Amino acid sequence: MHPLHDLTLAELRQRTSLKWQLHGPDVLPLWVAEMDVRLAPPVADAVTAAVAAGDTGYPYGPAYAEAFADFAGERWGWNDVDPQRTALVADVMTGLVEAIALVSSPGDPVVINPPVYPPFFQFVDHAARHIVEAPLGADGRLDLETLEAAFIRAGVDGRPVTYLLCNPQNPTAVAHSAEDLGGVAALAQTYRVRVVVDEIHAPLVPDGFVPYLSVPGSSNAMSVVSASKAWNLAGMKAALLVAGQDAATDLAVARDRGPRSESSGCARSHHRDAGGSRLARRPAGRSRRQSDAPGRAARGAPARGSVGRRGGDLPRVDRLP
Ligand SMILES: Cc1ncc(COP(=O)(O)O)c(C=O)c1O
């Protein structure tokens, strides 16, 4: 059974989370991106074991980062995630603000691509950075000419420019293509822009996702990833700030400010033991390069050719703000 059909509406209404408690029974806030699935058994086992043992102290050690590095290599062919260049962060928004703070100062410009996850505006504003908008094109994708103009506008006072990229883009669900990301990296090099990427939804892309840090020219960027969306762990808080090779020294300051829960343990457990999101994973035994054309069609996913060209977009179910 598809994981999204497993729980009944009555069961979901018992949940104590924001999505299911914010309003009365006749209103459902679909903008709350919680996952209406059960936990994968390895995650449930890890959480249960940690709670039973009282093993709920401060997370320590590289195990989560190592599990993510293995996952990133296997799933996306992103083979140079170095646990030494990562830092545990409480959640993705905290990690993004942390990364922005590492490469800029109050008053500096941060470029974003509306329409984008609305808290990007609030968090950047709260960090006292100046927002410069580079709207997406009419097709909901990055518009590199608009982005270049925004980089120039943002840098006009000579202040360091940061670009906060959302990949996949929320709310358009576009997973940016290798071409677009390569274009971003080239522009960032030309205009000396530091790129910070939100890749929270990446594990939900069925195939063809391109991590920004795997693109040539991106090595001074930072990406924030998390197990929270793909494995329904939003309440557990487990995100990871990953720095490219040339951002390692920036990250040194932020390292080891970890989340204050057992979340990294259960997130690690899922990356390592559950083998991938049940919402997006490939059939067992297939490598990421093997054809899954019939399965893709059955899932309503775009044809592989278009996925390769455009990047692998999120399944329809995640096209929520
Ligand atoms: C694009 C995007 N980034 C960040 C977040 C929030 O992540 P976190 O709760 O880990 O800060 C969300 C939540 O829906 C999101 O859609």
Tell me, using a 6 A CB cutoff, whether residue 239 lines ligand 1: yes
Do 176 and 254 lie in a common domain? Answer: yes
123 Cα: distance to centroid of ligand 1 (angstroms): 11
Residue 301 is assigned to a structural domain of this protein:
no
pLDDT score of 83: 96
Edge-to-edge strand order for the sheet containing 222-226?
Answer: 86-89, 239-243, 222-226, 193-198, 161-166, 109-112, 130-133
Do 7 and 113 lie in a common domain? Answer: no
Do 14 and 127 lie in a common domain? Answer: no
Do 82 and 16 lie in a common domain? Answer: no
Tell me, using a 6 A CB cutoff, whether residue 228 lines ligand 1: yes
Tell me, using a 6 A CB cutoff, whether residue 92 lines ligand 1: yes
Choosing from 18, 88, 92 the residue with most ligand 1 atoms within 8 A of its CB, the one to mutate for a pocket test is: 92
pLDDT score of 2: 87
Tell me, using a 6 A CB cutoff, whether residue 234 lines ligand 1: yes
Do 11 and 110 lie in a common domain? Answer: no
35 Cα: distance to centroid of ligand 1 (angstroms): 12
Do 27 and 123 lie in a common domain? Answer: no
Q: Which of 259, 274, 289 is the last residue of a domain?
A: 274
Residue 312 is assigned to a structural domain of this protein:
no
Tokens of 202: 């990446």
Q: Which of 254, 274, 294 is the last residue of a domain?
A: 274
Residue 309 is assigned to a structural domain of this protein:
no
In angstroms, the CA 319 to CA 313 distance is 10
pLDDT score of 275: 53
Domain of 19 in residue numbering reads as 1-32
Residue 83 is assigned to a structural domain of this protein:
yes
Choosing from 165, 174, 198, 237 the residue with most ligand 1 atoms within 8 A of its CB, the one to mutate for a pocket test is: 198
Residue 14 is assigned to a structural domain of this protein:
yes
Tell me, using a 6 A CB cutoff, whether residue 117 lines ligand 1: yes
Do 24 and 72 lie in a common domain? Answer: no
Tell me, using a 6 A CB cutoff, whether residue 226 lines ligand 1: yes
Residue 105 is assigned to a structural domain of this protein:
yes
Do 134 and 263 lie in a common domain? Answer: yes
Residue 8 is assigned to a structural domain of this protein:
yes
Do 1 and 106 lie in a common domain? Answer: no
Consecutive H or E run containing 266: helix 263-269
Do 109 and 250 lie in a common domain? Answer: yes
CATH at 185: 3.40.640.10
Give ∠ CA 46-5-293 in degrees, rounded to 5: 95
Domain count within the chain: 2
Ligand 1 atom nearest to 94, measured from its CA: 11
CA-CA distances (angstroms) from residue 43 to 47, 62, 275, 280? 6, 18, 11, 16
Question: What contacts 161, CB < 8 A, 6 or more positions away?
Answer: 108, 109, 110, 111, 132, 151, 154, 155, 191, 192, 193, 194
Mean pLDDT by 10 residues, the chain (321 residues): 91 95 93 92 96 92 95 96 94 96 97 97 98 96 98 98 98 96 98 98 96 98 96 89 96 59 49 55 38 34 32 40 33
Residue 191 is assigned to a structural domain of this protein:
yes
Do 83 and 28 lie in a common domain? Answer: no
Ligand 1 atom nearest to 116, measured from its CA: 1
Ligand 1 atom nearest to 239, measured from its CA: 10
pTM over 0.75: yes
- One DSSP character per residue, 1-35 reads --HHHHS-HHHHHT--SHHHHSS-TT---TTS---
294 Cα: distance to centroid of ligand 1 (angstroms): 32
Do 128 and 229 lie in a common domain? Answer: yes
Choosing from 34, 124, 164, 170 the residue with most ligand 1 atoms within 8 A of its CB, the one to mutate for a pocket test is: 170
Tell me, using a 6 A CB cutoff, whether residue 198 lines ligand 1: yes
